[in-house]
Structure 1
Amino acid sequence: MKMEIKIAPDGMAVRVMLAFLATAGLFYVNIMPAIVSGLIDSLGFSRTDAGLVASFNIYGAAVGALAAVFLITRVYWKPLAAMLLIGLISMDAISIWVSDPLTMKLTRGLHGVMGGMLVGVSFAVIARVTLVHKTFGYLLFVQFGLGGVGVMLLPPLAPIYGTSALFLALIAFSTVSFMMLFLLPDYRVEDAPKAVGNGDIKWRPLIVALLSVFLFQAANMGLYAYIIDLGKSYGLTIDFISPILGISAWAGLIGAWMVIVFSTRFGRTWPLFFATGLTLGATIALHFSADKAIFWLANVLVGITWAFCIAYLLGICAEFDKAGKMAALGGFASKTGLASGPMVASFLVSGGSYTVLINIAAVALLGCMLICLYPTQLLDKLDKSGQDEVA
């Protein structure tokens, strides 16, 4: 007698499994400081080459996420997700044996394409679940929780075991996600709830929301990819930096938890404006990283607000189209930002100074804080008029 495990399509378990699926395609971003530092210390890559490996990986993800926009309503998502997970595991295994900078860039670029497509597919499925902000909250909860373990434990292992420790961690995560995939409901397009405005996509606020996602992710990842080296440039040691990064990632659990609890209960405009402002302040504070307390506080604060803000920003994109195309497009904007940050940073920090990089990140965050007011106020207004789902 065959036994079937039934998972409630809107329950906590399914939100966690979707979070694992989406995280599997981009988990390397959560341990990016460990990867960049490992490439520099273990394989002798230059700062520029290490940063470009990160950029190739995430630009590949942007290409994959864009491809998902066109695929998600044309193919059944489960077999596609399974093939992509197998591809990710294969590319991570190959990466263990690569030591040439150009080969590593190309290998990670291909890995990124598959990972980005998986994230795009996952975001599209998340858009078909009720209370989309809450599901993105679970996503950030998983990312920051396990990312904290990664950035705390992996950097000290890289000098001993090389980059293999980093890529084996990614393989393990993808394997767990693969096993969870078969427990998820079908989430067919035709069963999805209606989008904002009864299906008519409002392109102007959507484009602004996508730009907000890009700026926010570029600003944060440009600094985060080099945060270990940044700390070292101010005289801090890896023994001090690694635990701080783990703690700051776990602090992100607070931000993700707040999204799960609040959803849209207090609207989107003021919570997002306030949290982005805190991110801006913490980023500026990195100018004073020689002070251990300031470095600690800035990283912890960014950990909390990063999880909080991006969950809302991605949720805003998803609400414009419940079939999932705009959620996948939000994933594309996110990955383009995540890739552009390290790429720009790789050229700014070649001399070992981080002053200009911090200033540019601060300007990008200020831009995000101001322009996201338009789509958030629109959605809050539609909530009040009863045209959108209310948490």
Structure 2
Amino acid sequence: MAEAISSPETRDFSAGRRWVAPPNSLQASVLLAFLSSAGLYYVNIFPAITNALMEGAGLSTVEAGQITSANAMGAAFGAFAVTLLIRRIPHWKMASVALLLGLICIDILTIMQESTNILVPLRFGHGFIGGSLVGLGFSVIARTARPSVAFSLLLVCQYGGGALGLWLLPPLVPSYGPYVPFYALIIFCLVTLSMIPFLAAYPLPEKKATTSGTTASAAKIRVFPLGLTLLALFFFQAANMALFAFIFGLGEHFGLTIEFMSPTIGIANIIAIGGAVLAAYTGIRYKLLKPLAFALICSALGTLIFLFSDSPVIYLIANCVTGVAWAFCIPYLLTMSAKFDEAGQMAALGGFASKMGLASGPIAAGYLLATDGSYPLLIVMAAGVIIACLLIAFHPARDLDAQI
């Protein structure tokens, strides 16, 4: 009788009939990392997508930037929409399956297109669904005992998958066409679908009324430090993605070849995984401010190193330094946003700020490059924005440290 009235979240995958990862275990963190990565995997192969659209489909930097930015902008709105609906989605696993199937369908439609004119609205729709999935995944991660671990593993998944994509996909475009990267997106979604049955239910926390009539979770939210955290997330992602989306074009500007850059960026992404692993280690042992500040400074310096990319070794070093710093900082900034409530709504809102940054970076860079083609100016501006992120994140990081 008990089983007959149990919810789908617990009935379908009960521990007595199928193995389920313990809610706060490392295995669960890995599965949640994959879930949250699936809607965002295109970001990690952004250079492969933009290069495929420019070299394979003959699009300009502005057109390629518009298409990739539409994907990221849709993700931002999707993440924001799911932020408002978190408490209205009790059966998040069923919702995740539906979203993953939606992503697969749109990628198939993208591959079937013979004209690139419809790609902007189509990829916006893909981004909206993907952003909703990421926001949903972030909200579930926020309900775990150690969200910093899952957020760090999220970056491990993204950089690992991104490394394979950036290494393998660009050389395939001349032979198989500009839509090669979208096959990779479909495969990632299929792999993630197979993992969902092994996740626990992670129910929504119950609202607790306060004497003033508001809920306890709402009463705890501090708007000013939360706003600064979201602002830092936005600018950090925008600065990094502005360079990363055109990293192949940057290398070509300094005289490097695609044959050199593809494996180089793939290697750099593999090395960058170390940043996410380090964030998982330091996140449960140290406070927020000092590690985050150090990593942001390293990120700015690594960005400036790109000014000397006429040397292949320097290009490799710059990609490695910025990759490690990027993979280290994002788990910290996402963990900061997750600490502002218990249901995971603010974590999902952090996803919105992150996606807005990812969307804004490539389109701003595309217009800048179309104006004067100045990659050195783009590099300097990106480094300056990262330094600004350090100043913005200082107060909320110190504020959260004081509560530990």
Which residue is 1:156 aligned to? 171
TM-score (norm 1): 0.94
- List alignment gaps of at least 5 residues for structure 2: 1-15, 209-214
Counterpart CA distance in 2 for 1:363 and 1:373 is 16
- Choose the corresponding residue for 1:89, options 89, 100, 104: 104
Which residue is 1:101 aligned to? 116
Aligned: 1:355 with 2:355: no
Which residue is 2:62 aligned to? 48
- Choose the corresponding residue for 2:205, options 187, 190, 194: 190
- Choose the corresponding residue for 1:207, options 227, 243, 254: 227
Contact 1:233–1:353 (CA<8 Å) still a contact in 2? no
Equivalent residues in 2 for 1:264-283, closer than 5 Å: 264-283=284-303
Counterpart CA distance in 2 for 1:192 and 1:319 is 17
Equivalent residues in 2 for 1:1-391, closer than 5 Å: 3-76=17-90, 77-190=92-205, 200-350=220-370, 351-383=372-404
Counterpart CA distance in 1 for 2:309 and 2:207 is 47
Write out per-residue CA displacement over residues 58-80 of structure 1, whole angstroms, 9 at most, x where no aligned residue. Answer: 00000100001011111221121
Write out per-residue CA displacement over residues 303-330 of structure 1, whole angstroms, 9 at most, x where no aligned residue. Answer: 1110000010001000111201100000
TM-score (norm 2): 0.91
- List alignment gaps of at least 5 residues for structure 1: 384-391
Write out per-residue CA displacement over residues 81-104 of structure 1, whole angstroms, 9 at most, x where no aligned residue. Answer: 111100000001111122433311
Counterpart CA distance in 1 for 2:114 and 2:67 is 12
| Residue 167 of structure 1: how far off its partner (Å) | 0.8
| Residue 277 of structure 1: how far off its partner (Å) | 0.4
Question: Counterpart of 2:157 in 1: which secondary structure?
Answer: helix
Larger Rg belongs to: 2
| Residue 178 of structure 1: how far off its partner (Å) | 1.0
Counterpart CA distance in 2 for 1:327 and 1:247 is 30
Q: Which amino acid aligns with 1:108?
A: R
CA RMSD for the aligned pairs? 1.7
Write out per-residue CA displacement over residues 89-140 of structure 1, whole angstroms, 9 at most, x where no aligned residue. Answer: 0001111122433311111111000000000000000000011111101111
Contact 1:19–1:138 (CA<8 Å) still a contact in 2? yes
Which residue is 1:386 aligned to? none
| Residue 335 of structure 1: how far off its partner (Å) | 0.1
Identical residues among aligned pairs (%): 43
Contact 2:217–2:342 (CA<8 Å) still a contact in 1? no
Number of positions where the alignment pairs a residue of Structure 1 with one of Structure 2: 381
Counterpart CA distance in 2 for 1:354 and 1:196 is 49
Give the ranges of 4+ consecutive aligned residues of structure 1 lying more than 6 Å apart after TM superposition: 195-198
Contact 2:72–2:359 (CA<8 Å) still a contact in 1? yes
Contact 1:128–1:192 (CA<8 Å) still a contact in 2? no
Contact 1:131–1:263 (CA<8 Å) still a contact in 2? no
Write out per-residue CA displacement over residues 11-34 of structure 1, whole angstroms, 9 at most, x where no aligned residue. Answer: 111111101110000100000000
Question: Counterpart of 2:279 in 1: which secondary structure?
Answer: helix
| Residue 255 of structure 1: how far off its partner (Å) | 0.6
Write out per-residue CA displacement over residues 126-177 of structure 1, whole angstroms, 9 at most, x where no aligned residue. Answer: 0000111111011111111111111011111111111332111100100111
Q: Which amino acid aligns with 2:18?
A: E
Q: Which amino acid aligns with 1:66?
A: F
Write out per-residue CA displacement over residues 342-369 of structure 1, whole angstroms, 9 at most, x where no aligned residue. Answer: 0100101114331221122112101101
